[in-house]
Amino acid sequence: MGKRRLLMIILAAALILSASIFYYVSKERDIRAASESTAGSSELKDVITIEDIDTRLLELGGSTKSISDYSEGILFINFWATWCYYCELEMPDLIKLSELVGKDGSGKVIAIDVNEKEKTVQDFIDRKGFGGITVLLDQNGDAAMKFGIDAYPTTYLFKGGRLIDYKVGMLSWEDMMAMLEAARK
C-alpha cells in the first residue's frame, strides 16, 4: 500500500509540474507575440504624443518641469532606477548620446528616475560620476504609470512630440545610434 501511495504522489507531482511548465511556456509565447506585434507599431505611434502622457516632474537639483518642455525635435526618455544594474550599465552611453544631440541641437535626452528620493538619486549620480544628463524624478510613479513602465530600463523616442519608437531593456550604443538615425530621417 505504501508503494502505491508513493507512486500516486509522484504521478500527481509530475502532472502538476508538466502543467506548470506548459502554462509558463505558453504565457511567455503570448507575451513575446504581443510585444512583437505592438513594439514600434504604427498603430501605437499614431496614438501616443507627449501631450497624452505629459506630467510635471521635479528636476534633480530644483525646478519642476513638464515632459512637454522638451518636446521640440528629438527626445529620448529613459526610465531607470538607481538599484537597476542594467540602468547603471546603460547610463554612460545615455550621457554620451545626450552630449551628441545637445551639441548638434537636434534633441534632448532625459532620464526619469522612478519612485526614489532626490537625495538617493543625487548621491548615486555624484558617486558614479553620471553628470551631463537631465534627470527628472518621478517620485510617486505617475509618469511611469502613464507610460506603462513595467521594466527598467525602458526608453521612448519622440520626434516633434510624437512617439516613433521604444525599447524595453538595456540599449547598446549601437541601438541608440540606430534609433537616432531613424529619428533623423
The fraction of the chain above a pLDDT of 70, given in percent, is 83
Task: Residue 54: count other Cβ atoms within 10 Å of its Cβ.
Answer: 15
pLDDT the model gives residue 9: 85
**Tens-digit pLDDT profile for residues 88-135:** 999 999 999 999 998 988 899 999 999 999 999 999 999 999 988 999
Tell me, yes or no, whether 129 and 159 share the same domain.
Answer: yes
Tell me, yes or no, whether 10 and 46 share the same domain.
Answer: no
- Average pLDDT score over residue span 65-81: 93
Nearest-angstrom CA–CA distance, 46 and 51: 13
Show the cell assigned to 154.
Answer: 525602458
Whole-model pTM: value is 0.74
Tell me, yes or no, whether 98 and 157 share the same domain.
Answer: yes
The band of 47, judged by pLDDT with boundaries at 50, 70 and 90, is: low
Cβ-based burial of 20 (10 A; exposed 0-12, middle 13-18, buried ≥19): exposed
Question: How many separate domains does the chain show?
Answer: 2
Higher pLDDT, 22 or 154: 154
